[in-house]
Chains A and B, each alone.
Chain A
Amino acid sequence: GAGVSQTPSNKVTEKGKYVELRCDPISGHTALYWYRQSLGQGPEFLIYFQGTGAADDSGLPNDRFFAVRPEGSVSTLKIQRTERGDSAVYLCASSSQGTNTEAFFGQGTRLTVV
């Protein structure tokens, strides 16, 4: 596609439920990043994929968070047993070479846990 696509754009879920957030990177981009942006904060790194593998997952806050990229393209961020503190905008970015020459960001998924 023309840009990074994230679905859904908004998600409201009840505390304790499971959610999946999807990211479609720019075609051909091998590197994919997930960030989380809380209200009044800048984006914070969660996980980085190079191809199919998670090369760096040091930003995942706890074991309720998990992400996959089985075919090296689309990625899914999965959150189990959601908590109100998980409410944030989840941003996905992709880049062509896995370096920081330029990462292109999607519009984000706004997750609200009630």
Chain B
Amino acid sequence: AQSVTQPDIHITVSEGASLELRCNYSYGATPYLFWYVQSPGQGLQLLLKYFSGDTLVQGIKGFEAEFKRSQSSFNLRKPSVHWSDAAEYFCAVGAEQAGTALIFGKGTTLSVSS
């Protein structure tokens, strides 16, 4: 079955500390992988995506993610968290085929403490 697992429901990180959000996927075809962020009352904003090539991808707001095929993982990282990063983060998987729906994980809520 195709699925995305985000093992951590809620994470709290001190401001300035590093962050890693975990994402594991199960997908039959070559996966296209995404991380989205959702702030309260806001829509989903794309942070970064991986299709092919370099397995370490850079995104907006200082985020990066690394694709590890052997572990079926696509973890999101940030070296130094800012208070404004507090939000909900969703990992998603899809395919290149036109119209293929994205499959989302249940999300990880990030809180940032001062």
Contacts and interface: CB of A to CB of B under 8 A. Distances in A.
A101 B99 CA distance: 11
B61 to A, nearest CB: 16
Interface stretch (A14-22, A39-47, A80-88): A39-47
Given A42-B107, A43-B104, A99 B43 contact: no
Given A41-B106, A100-B102, 20 more contacts: A4-B43, A31-B99, A33-B101, A42-B4, A42-B104, A42-B107, A43-B44, A44-B104, A45-B101, A45-B103, A56-B99, A56-B101, A100-B32, A101-B49, A102-B46, A103-B46, A104-B46, A105-B36, A105-B44, A105-B45
Contacts of A104: 46
A106 B97 CA distance: 22
Interface stretch (B14-22, B62-70, B71-79, B88-96): B88-96
A103 B102 contact: yes
A103 B104 CA distance: 13
A35 B102 CA distance: 9
B100 interface: yes
**DSSP class of A's interface residues: helix, strand, loop or mixed?**
loop
Nearest to B109: A40
Give the interface residue-count category, chain B: 20 to 34
Contacts of B105: 42
The 8 closest A-B pairs by CB, nearest first: A42-B104, A45-B101, A98-B98, A105-B43, A105-B44, A100-B94, A107-B43, A48-B99
Given A42-B104, A43-B44, A43-B104, A99 B90 contact: no
11 contacts: A42-B105, A42-B107, A45-B101, A48-B99, A56-B101, A91-B44, A93-B44, A99-B96, A100-B32, A100-B34, A107-B42
